[in-house]
Structure 1
Amino acid sequence: MPHANNPAYAGVRLRCLIPNGELNRLGWRSRIVWPGAPLPRQGVMVVQAKWLLDGGSPEALRALTQRLGQARAAGVTLVLDSFDNYFLNETDDPSRRALLEAYREALRLFAAFTVSSPGLKPLLEQELPAGARVLVVGDPVETPEALSAYESWPRRMHPGRWSGHWRAWQELLEHRAARRGARQLMWFGNHGSAYAAGGMTELQRLLPMLERVAERQPLRLTVVSNSEQRYQELLGAARFPHRYRTWDRLHFLRLLGEQDLVLLPSRLTAFTVAKSNNRMLLALAQGVPVMTDPLPDYLPWKDFCAIDEWDRLADHIVDPGALAARASAAMPAIAQQYSSQAIAHDWRDALMSITRA
C-alpha cells in the first residue's frame, strides 16, 4: 500500500511500483492496494508508514489504524515499511507531536517492519518492543528499463507527453553544447522536509568553494528538485552559472548521465543517518562521479566516489577523470546488488521470512 497514487514520488516508485512489477515477473501474486481501495482479507500487506502519517491529524491516523486492525483481524499479516526517520520533530511542533503519539500507537498492529537503509533500523528499533523484527530492504537503482515494471511503453509515449519529450530533447542538446565549454555539475533531490533540516540547504556550504573554482574553471550547476522558490533563495546571488530544473522522472536519467560531477552534500544528522544510498548509486550506476559526505549507507561504496573530500572539490572539478573511472568501476556491483530484479528477490526473501516466523 503506497502513500499516494503518483509515481512522481520516489517512495511510491522505488518501494511499491517497481518491486510489485518485478515480484509478479518472478511468479508471485503481488498487487498494489491504492489509497482508498478496500483492504485485502488475506496474505501479507506492506503498508508505507507515510500512508499513515499523511492522514494529517491524530484522529485521521487512528481511523486508518482502525481499518488496518480490521484487516489484521480478518487474517492479513501487516508489515510497515519506512524510508525516513519519521519520529523527528526538530521544531517541537505540538501538532506533529500529537500525530507521532497516534503513530506510535499504530506500531503494535504490525507483525514486522522493513526499512530502506541500515541506518534507519536502530532508530525504528528503539521505538519498538524488544525482539521486534526489522528487516532492511534497499531501494532499487532506477534505469530506463525499470519504468516498464509499472508503466507500459504506449503510456510513456502517449501524445499528451510529446511536448515534454521534445523539451527534454532540446534541453539535452543545449546541455551537450554547454558541456564543451564548462564543467557540468548537478545536485538533485527533495528540497527539504517539514520536520527536519536538510535537503537543498546543504548546498549552501559549497557555494563559496564553487565561486572560487569558477574563477579558474568554467562550470555550471544544475539543481534538479521540487521547489524553484527554495532554489532562488539559496542560489539567487551565487557568482557562478547555475540553473534550476524540475524533477522529471521520464527524462532525468538521460540528463544525469551526461554530468561531469554530482554533488551530494549531506551532513550527518538524525534525519540523514537514516537515508538510503539511492541517490549516490543512481549517479554511480550511470558512471557519473560523485562527491558526498560519510552517511552510513554510503560508506560501503567509498572506493567508488569521493566521500568527505570537499577540500579536493577544485581538483575533481578541474579534472574529474580519475573519479569518473572509480564511478564506472562500481557499475557491475550496483547492477548485481541493486537492480530491480535483485531488490525484488530481497523483498521476496524478507516477506517469506516474515510469513514463516
Structure 2
Amino acid sequence: MQVHWLPHAWNPAYAGVRLRCLMPQGALARQGVRSRLLQDGQPLPREGVVVVQAKWLLDAGTPEGLRSRTTVLQQARDAGAVLVLDSFDNYFLNESGDAARALLLQAYREALPLFKAFTVSSPGLQPLLQAELPPGTPVHVVGDPVETPDALSTYESWWRRHHPGRWSGHWRAAQELREHRHARRQARQLLWFGNHGSAYAAGGMSELDRILPMLNAVAKDQPLRLTVVSNSEQRYREVLAPATFEHRYRPWDRLHFLRLMGEHDLVLLPARLTAFTVAKSNNRMLLALAQGVPVMTDPLPDYLPWRDYCAMDDWEQLARHVHDPRPLAARASAAMPAIARDYSTSAIARQWLDLLTRIQMQ
C-alpha cells in the first residue's frame, strides 16, 4: 500500500501539519508502509491513497485558486489515485458574513465530490461535515496523536533540533524554566495555551474573558500567575487588560513547550460550546493530562469521555482547585495509561493504516 500526505503547509510549527501529517506519516514509514510527505510543487501521484488536508484547498485563498487545485486533484483521481479529505476544523463557518469567504466556500463545496472518503479529527466535527455531503456518506474519525518530548524525533532529526542556530533558543528556554521553578515556590502557576483566534469564527484566547473575574477573586488570597502561550501578544494584552493578578505571555515554542507545561499546577481550557469549538479535538486537554497536569475545562464532545480525569464544567470550584490542585493532579495521572495506549503516535498511525486500507479496498 502507498500512502501520500498532502499538508496545507510544510512547517512543523502548525499543529495540524504535525499531528495529522508528519507524525502519522513518519510512524507508518518506520513500520514499513510506503508512506511519504508530498513536497510543495511536487506532482500528485497517480496511484495509492492521497490524504489531502482540507486547509490545503482553502489556503488557495481565492475561488479561482481553489478550483485550480481541484483540477490537479481530479487529474490524480482520474489516473488512479484514491483521494481522502482530512478536516480538523469546521471550515464551513463564516460568522462575519464575509463575501469573499462565501465565494471560497462555494468553490470548496464543489470540490467535495472528488473524494472517495472523509476523515475528521473529532466526533463533534463528524456531523458538521456529513451535513455538507450526500446522505449516507461516511465520515470517519481519526484522533490526533498526543505529543510527547520524544515525538519531535518522529519528524525532525537530532541534528536539526540541535542546530547551532537554535542554541540561543535552547538557552533561553533553560533560563525560563529556572525562573518558572523559582516562581512556583511563591505562587500557583496556571496555564492557558492555544491559537489566539480565527478570522472566520469566535473563540481562541477570548474564551478567557469568562473566567478572568473568577481569577481576580481567587488572587485576593491565593498568589497566582497565569502564563498565556499563544501566537498573538497583541491579543493577549487586549484580553488580559482587566486582570488584577500576575500574568505573562510566551510565544509558542514547539521544542520546549511540553517541558514548560509539565511544570504548571493547573491548565485552564475554558471553551464555550459553539459551532467552532464543537469541532475541536481533545488534543489540548490530553496533552496536559498525558503529563499528569490537572485540567479545568468545559464539556466539548471530544472531551466528555475524559471527564473523570479533569474538572469539567466545574468553574464554581476554581478557587478550591487553585488552592489545592493535588486531588485534580491525582485524577490527571490516572488518565496517563489510557492516553499512552490509545493516543500514542504509533496507535494513531495504526488507526490511519487500518482505515486507509479499508477505503482503498472498497
TM-score grouping bracket, smaller chain normalisation: over 0.9
Q: Does 1:56 align with 2:61?
A: yes
Letter in 2 for 1:21: G
Distance of 2:136 and 2:301 partners within structure 1? 23
Pairwise CA distance, 1:204 = 0.7
- TM-score, normalization: structure 2? 0.98
Structure 1 segments, 4+ long, off by >6 Å, are none
The correspondence of residues 302-341 of structure 1 with structure 2, limited to 5 A, is 302-341=307-346
Distance of 2:239 and 2:96 partners within structure 1? 21
Q: Does 1:216 align with 2:221?
A: yes
**Structure 2: any 5+ residue segments left out of the alignment?**
1-5
Pairwise CA distance, 1:237 = 3.7
The correspondence of residues 233-272 of structure 1 with structure 2, limited to 5 A, is 233-272=238-277
The answer as to whether partners of 1:82 and 1:115 remain within 8 angstroms in 2 is yes
The correspondence of residues 1-357 of structure 1 with structure 2, limited to 5 A, is 1-357=6-362
The Cα offsets for residues 53-110 of structure 1, whole Å up to 9 and x where unpaired, read as 0000100000000000011111100000000000001111111110000000000100
Distance of 2:32 and 2:138 partners within structure 1? 26
The Cα offsets for residues 207-258 of structure 1, whole Å up to 9 and x where unpaired, read as 1110110000000000000000000011134110000000000000000001
Letter in 1 for 2:10: N
Distance of 2:137 and 2:68 partners within structure 1? 24
The Cα offsets for residues 269-327 of structure 1, whole Å up to 9 and x where unpaired, read as 00110100000000000100000000000000000000000000000000000000000
Residue-pair matches, total: 357
Letter in 2 for 1:42: E
The Cα offsets for residues 140-178 of structure 1, whole Å up to 9 and x where unpaired, read as 000111111110111101111000000000000000000
RMSD over aligned Cα atoms: 0.6
The answer as to whether partners of 2:173 and 2:256 remain within 8 angstroms in 1 is yes
Distance of 2:350 and 2:241 partners within structure 1? 45
- TM-score, normalization: structure 1? 0.99
Task: Point out the more displaced range, 35-44 or 265-274.
Answer: 35-44
Task: Point out the more displaced range, 280-289 or 347-356.
Answer: 347-356
Distance of 1:148 and 1:131 partners within structure 2? 40
Letter in 1 for 2:50: M
Distance of 1:84 and 1:350 partners within structure 2? 20
Pairwise CA distance, 1:34 = 2.2
SS of the counterpart of 1:118?
coil
Letter in 1 for 2:160: R
The answer as to whether partners of 1:117 and 1:137 remain within 8 angstroms in 2 is yes
The answer as to whether partners of 1:277 and 1:298 remain within 8 angstroms in 2 is yes
SS of the counterpart of 2:211?
helix
SS of the counterpart of 2:118?
strand
